[in-house]
Structure 1
Amino acid sequence: MIAQELLLSYGATAEHFYPADVIFDEGSTPKYYYQIVKGTIKLNHYNESGKELILAILTPGFSVCELLLFIDKKYPVNAVVVEQCTTLKLPKADFERMLDENPALSRDINKFLSERLYHKFIMLENNTSTQASVRILGVLDYHKSFSGDETKYSFEVPLTRQQLASMTGLRVETVIRTIKNLEKQNKLEIRNRKIYF
């Protein structure tokens, strides 16, 4: 999203994390801008019965809950490392200074946030469906929307069946069965156990 050189010029530092490391906890105060250089991070929440709900899976180039740097609210989610990860971490004050001194970057971030929110609304709308296929296709559409390539089967879905279940509120067995049906309907392809959408 933001050029690494620009982040480094404003004082960003690289941080390295391992699977299951927590970058920040739900309820903590946002103090840094984080951008993923390599690896994968999930944003999750646990409901009152302890069931995990995954709100997003973030991959290289994505920022992590940057929208909370613009308001005085606590994190509503946890950021947990899925695959060994490196982030660039920039203190909030330096992030704000960078935006003040680079108005075009500020506009780009506004556009990016707007696109993410738009697609998130669509995904949430699909998640209210009683049909498992609508829920799953909503999540796949959301993630593919950031790939830049809209051609059929061009996007390798970076989600496991369990993660899809946690994002849609479905059981893993339902996700597996529905994915097989979606493949028969030519909505997606499965190659070497990976989903292509």
Structure 2
Amino acid sequence: MLVDEKILISYGAINEKFKSPELIFHEGGIPKFYYQLASGRVKLNHIDSDGKEFIQTVLTAGQSVCELMLFIDEHYPVNAVVQTPVNVLKIPKMNFKKMLEDHPSISVDINKFLAERLYHKFIMVQNNASLNPEVRLEGILKYLKSFDDNQTPHSFEILLTRQELASTTGLRVETVIRAIKKMESKNMLKIENRKIFY
């Protein structure tokens, strides 16, 4: 959990529930709240002018949703799309800033979280520049696993479908399927009941 729920509630957090495929916020919207997932899964995506989806990341319980937008005066560059039933704790932007002033250790934790995400995004962008589909896929798999405490091989279930992996890496779904099979043969990942473990 990024911020303790009791602290969020003490700063006016309310619980809000969403069902798939509802939006928590939409691209172009004005950031007004800090959102933290108490349960469920949310993807951050962008739909280009041709209607093609590009998935930035998938967030799970304990993670915050686009908190970086509360530090700048810009509109959301992505949609936050609910993938499974979600329970979100949300507090107004002003309460969020007050909480950070009152609790410097939370500010440090959020800065660390932002820095880790930015670092892994740099690596993912570098990998996505590769013509090798395995390199692209390994980049996103490493990024998704980076938020998990257990870093042992094949311990992390990838919650993205093959189509969503394609939308994240810019590859065709057929290419993703072939690359995943090659990666499995190299013991880079494991497939059990069609689920990918990295």
Structure 2-normalised TM-score?
A: 0.98
> 2:105 & 2:24 partners in 1: Cα distance?
29
1:15 CA drift (Å): 0.4
Corresponding position: 1:50 with 2:44? no
Alignment of 1:29-108 (within 5 A): 29-108=30-109
Q: Counterpart in 2 of 1:147?
A: 148
Q: Counterpart in 2 of 1:16?
A: 17
> 1:27 & 1:18 partners in 2: Cα distance?
21
2:91 maps to a residue whose letter is L
Structure 1-normalised TM-score?
A: 0.98
Structure 2's unaligned 5+ residue stretches are none
> 1:38 & 1:105 partners in 2: Cα distance?
20
1:148 CA drift (Å): 1.7
Secondary structure of the 2:3 match is coil
Q: Counterpart in 2 of 1:6?
A: 7
1:193 CA drift (Å): 1.0
> 1:163 & 1:37 partners in 2: Cα distance?
23
2:88 maps to a residue whose letter is T
Q: Counterpart in 2 of 1:130?
A: 131
- Per-residue deviation, residues 82-129 of structure 1 (Å, max 9, x unmatched): 111110011001000000000111111111100110011101110111
Structure 1's unaligned 5+ residue stretches are none
1:149 CA drift (Å): 1.7
Once superposed, what is the RMSD of the aligned Cα atoms?
A: 0.7
1:138 CA drift (Å): 0.2
Runs of at least 4 residues off by over 4 Å: none
Question: Among the aligned pairs, what percent are the same residue?
Answer: 56
> 1:142 & 1:98 partners in 2: Cα distance?
29
> 1:150 & 1:25 partners in 2: Cα distance?
33
